[in-house]
Amino acid sequence: MMENPKAARAATRSALFGGIEAQRAAMAATADEDEAQGTLTPKAVEALVASGALRMKLPMVLGGFEADLVTQMEVLERLAMINPAIGWCAMVGATSLGVPGAFLPDSGIARMFADGRIPRGAIVVTPSGVATPEAGGFRVNGRWGFASGVRHSEWIVAITRVERAAQAPPEIYFMVFPTSACTIEDNWQVLGLKGTGSCDIVVKDVFVADDMAFPASDAPRRGGALYRIGLPAFVAYEHAGFALGMARRVLDGLVTIMQNKKRGYAPGGSSMVERGAVQRLIGHTEMRLRAARALNVEANEEVWETVASGRALSAGQQCAVRSAATYATEVAVEVVNEAFRYAGASAIYEHSFMQRCLRDVTVAAQHYMVADTAYEQLGRARLGLDDINPMG
């Protein structure tokens, strides 16, 4: 009997959302300590693992959920509302398991997922390392930035250039190796997302066996439609969910602040909720945030329907879903900045979630996935131009 897709999707959503709710208090409680330490604390990691969110992108045959894109987006939205650092590490950590889980050969899976245990990972996507082929595998050297969650990871997934001949263009490979094989540089002193521990990593003369590497052009060895999506659609929704979650928390928080706040130097200052400027801000911001969210739901549902039916995504669809994530991030930055200003002086203190979200969303918006080039490529697609690069 074939599984009912709607029932399966509902069950997945129930399990993931229920797992988050069960760990909500634990994840919220670590936020200050995560930021102070510059990485997720052991308690935060324990809560994240227990929530099930790290398994949302993993093939079902390996114990994962293999969730649809909108469900994953909503998972990250909820996590970002609770603790942005945990939300960001969930985003990266889930991808670091899903990619090798779908593409590694069986013998590589036996190493990474030894005895059926699901490990913790980190992934670095800029191909700044070089791998030289040798007998049985590759010799890898390089330095990668922004290894979010690396301090609690056990495995690294690194996009690497494979150079086979002096005149030949390099091939792009995924290399998978233990975190213990790299040096973690303590250079994550930043404005926002402090709790993610997104340090640089350095690898020197590390041997990676053939079965722990695979070309970026490979077809998946296990799993379903999720692993046929390609880039950028395979990860764009993650950034949308993260940004929308922070903006929603800040907007809801502003409503509470305004309901309890008066302003004015004279005794009995005027209630903020009676001010037309505040009323317009809340109403207009609510519409912008909901519109950005609806756009991303629509774009990602279209992507999922396309790949689930066995069709490949067009370049235009890839550009559209990345642009939707870029737009959601832009709106989130605007919402958080406006809310911070209206919240008043109480928002400037380190204990305020307003100032933390302001810093975190500002840093999140610097990610290349949500750069303005997304709009340029979408424009090229809509204009019918050639040479469209959705990741350009």
Structure-block tokens of residue 392: 């350009």
In a domain, 389, yes or no: no
Print the domain residue range for 355. Answer: 229-263+270-382
Residues 6+ apart with CB under 8 A from 176: 100, 104, 108, 112, 155, 156, 157, 158, 208, 212, 213
Same domain for 235 and 361, yes or no, is: yes
Same domain for 257 and 360, yes or no, is: yes
Same domain for 253 and 377, yes or no, is: yes
Last residue of a domain, one of 94, 116, 138: 116
Same domain for 146 and 276, yes or no, is: no
In a domain, 278, yes or no: yes
Sign of CA dihedral 165, 166, 172, 174: positive
Same domain for 172 and 303, yes or no, is: no
Burial (0-12, 13-18, 19+ Cβ within 10 Å), 130: middle
Last residue of a domain, one of 116, 144, 161: 116
Same domain for 131 and 111, yes or no, is: no
- 215 φ, ψ to 5°? -65, 145
Number of domains in the chain: 3
Which pLDDT score, from 0 to 100, does residue 114 have? 97
Same domain for 145 and 99, yes or no, is: no
Same domain for 309 and 339, yes or no, is: yes
Which pLDDT score, from 0 to 100, does residue 1 have? 44
Which pLDDT score, from 0 to 100, does residue 158 have? 98
Same domain for 134 and 95, yes or no, is: no
In a domain, 387, yes or no: no
Last residue of a domain, one of 116, 142, 166: 116
CATH number where 205 lies: 2.40.110.10
Q: What is the pTM of this model?
A: 0.95
CATH number where 78 lies: 1.10.540.10
Alpha carbons 313 and 246: distance in angstroms, whole number: 29
Rounded to whole angstroms, what are the CA distances from 332 to 268, 287, 360, 366? 34, 12, 11, 13
Same domain for 274 and 377, yes or no, is: yes
In a domain, 224, yes or no: no
In a domain, 327, yes or no: yes
Strand-pair partners of 176: 157
Same domain for 189 and 283, yes or no, is: no
Alpha carbons 37 and 196: distance in angstroms, whole number: 10
One digit per residue, pLDDT tens: the chain, 392 residues? Answer: 446 888 999 999 999 999 999 999 999 999 999 999 999 999 999 999 999 999 999 999 999 999 999 999 999 999 999 999 999 999 999 999 999 999 999 999 999 999 999 999 999 999 999 999 999 999 999 999 999 999 999 999 999 999 887 778 899 999 999 999 999 999 999 999 999 999 999 999 999 999 999 999 999 999 999 999 999 999 999 999 999 999 999 999 999 998 988 776 556 667 888 888 999 999 999 999 999 999 999 999 999 999 999 999 999 999 999 999 999 999 999 999 999 999 999 899 988 999 999 999 999 999 999 999 999 999 999 999 999 999 99
Same domain for 104 and 176, yes or no, is: no
